[in-house]
Chains A and B, each alone.
Chain A
């Protein structure tokens, strides 16, 4: 009953000072809205990284020759010839957690069809490549194991290559193209995948049996890479360990020697990129939080002025029987109401801003429920925290002095 009355008194005071209340709220509104929008951007980019990487095959594992090249002054992986077909066979024989596996050799060159030509990359793989990369063909068929055995000059090409070397809209399947002057018969076209998160065109590829690429194009007998996929995403870390052990034995490495190859799962890649975007999110949220803090100080400022301005009213309220605690509660409720109303409006504005960012700037966003809950809680706490001091001051006034205050 009493609290309800105080609530009524506080609401009344807010309504009587609409403009001032609204201006006070503005700080909170902007603060909350920016926290929500920033978190939405952060979450959105994190999610988009995750989905693109998952689309590339989330249980994919890559094995490259050479040590982890993240450290300084080490040879680039591509130049090291420690990964061989024999390694591939051994892993294939011994690893139990891998479902698909392919050797990879790759090189760049010119794709030529008559007068049209286009610079692209050729990947020499086996038929399991499609399963690992999770891609399908839009027409034609993949080459077979037999064609790999015989090093047939057949190729599957991506849409970008089709667009550039078959500009007249010819059906590419069955046509002959040349890659670095070696003729290939096009037997299939990959389905379109577009650009990945890192801006790489996933359709700008020529895929051929690795034997053909090794012998005819690159003239090498080692591998640039081995790609595999773990049985499931959860098995990926275990599979990485397993492959590492097999390769260490195979390469006869002693305990104190570093790996001369690098095994990485997509999961690691995801966490690397996620942590980058997470750091960015933290930065953005920190900036937004500062504006929320400033909003809170705005509330304190206005409440402080309000207490000064209404000293006489406080004196009267005390004279007619308002206790110190009543006055304290009244001003505290006022501050909390301002900040919570500001919080609600801020959430709405934040959601609006998020939609705007998604629609007009085409940035991926994702509003997390926790961001709303947190910013709302922060609002309420801000109200109590910054409302307390002025309210305390009001409640401690001496009624005689307050009544005489001009």
Chain B
């Protein structure tokens, strides 16, 4: 039985807008185990973003249990949340969010700059290793403007890996990419998952879900579906099926 990375029980999140209370999440329960590749799906307004924010320790639930790697998040302060994000979570965003005019390696080093336990040498070493893992070992000194969209997202993935997180949290990570590049990125995620990295992928594209091992579907703040995917598609195989690009 593998370790529980995420444990959510009867989690609720309410927002007060003037006199109205908006129920973004109406008591959901879900558990994610180590090594899983979960996609969280849902249309806009389903509570997907709220769940992502809570999963990413950017926001806190109104009530219910949220534990990440055995740590209960509910009563942590702003600073303690920052430390959790720094040590346990790797973020990947739709718009990459790389620092402009800053080299790939420095972008990847960023999370470690906020971790005083990591020395300068170790930081550099780990950043190089992470960039090699995503296949950018040759482009350490390139700035975002010198990289393609797919390469920029790879830098972002390397950045999410560099702190050895217990979970990678991707928010529409292929949303800005064309089909070919997004398949490339998905195959990279699958490879990382094979190496034992837990991935939670928030998306609204159904074909992305076919690459994951489990899918959770949200609607109106509730989980309406949660199923294991027994027929996981290989992204690299799908990539090979695409018509050849003309250079």
Contacts and interface: CB of A to CB of B under 8 A. Distances in A.
Interface string A316-328: 1111111111100
Contacts of B102: 12, 16
Contacts of A319: 56, 58, 85, 91
Nearest to A326: B114
B110 A317 contact: yes
A5 B110 CA distance: 10
B147 interface: no
Given A321-B82, A323-B82, A5 B101 contact: no
Contacts of A12: 102, 106
Contacts of A5: 113-114, 116
Contact of A399 (B58, B111, B119): B58
A16 B93 CA distance: 24
B30 interface: no
B101 A320 contact: no
Interface string B138-177: 0000000000000000000001000100000000000000
A15 to B, nearest CB: 10
A264 B85 CA distance: 79
A313 interface: yes
B79 A323 contact: yes
Interface residues of B, number: 27
A400 B53 contact: yes
Interface in A5-43: 5, 8-9, 12, 16
Contacts of B101: 16
A1, A312, A315, A320: most-surrounded residue (chain B CB, <10 A): A320
A357 interface: no
Interface string A271-290: 00000000000000000000
B158 to A, nearest CB: 12
Interface string B104-141: 00100011011110010000000000000000000000
Contact of A321 (B93, B99, B111): B111
A321 B58 contact: no
B78 A321 contact: no
A399 B78 CA distance: 10
Contacts of B113: 5, 8-9
B44 interface: no
Contacts of B93: 316, 403
A313 B97 CA distance: 7
Given A320-B114, A322-B114, A400 B58 contact: yes
A321 B59 contact: no
Contacts of A325: 79
Contacts of A16: 101-102
B83 interface: yes
A2 interface: yes
Contacts of B86: 320-322
B87 interface: yes
A35 to B, nearest CB: 35
B93 to A, nearest CB: 7
A321 B106 CA distance: 16
Interface in B43-84: 53, 56, 58-59, 78-79, 82-83
Given A312-B97, A325-B79, A400-B53, A320 B111 contact: yes
B59 A318 contact: no
Contacts of A317: 110, 114
B201 to A, nearest CB: 17
B78 A400 contact: no
Contacts of B83: 321, 323
Contacts of B115: 321
A5 B83 CA distance: 16
Given A399-B58, A400-B58, A324 B97 contact: no
A219 B87 CA distance: 105
B91 A320 contact: yes
B114 A321 contact: yes
Interface string A39-58: 00000000000000000000
Nearest to B97: A316
A358 B85 CA distance: 61
B99 A313 contact: yes
Contacts of B58: 319, 399-400, 403
B97 A321 contact: no
A320 B78 contact: no
The 8 A-B residue pairs whose C-beta atoms are closest, nearest first, are: A321-B86, A320-B111, A321-B114, A323-B82, A2-B116, A5-B113, A316-B97, A1-B116
26 contacts: A2-B114, A5-B113, A5-B116, A12-B102, A16-B102, A315-B97, A316-B99, A317-B114, A318-B82, A319-B91, A320-B91, A320-B110, A321-B86, A321-B111, A321-B115, A322-B82, A322-B114, A323-B78, A323-B79, A323-B82, A323-B83, A324-B79, A324-B82, A326-B114, A400-B58, A400-B59
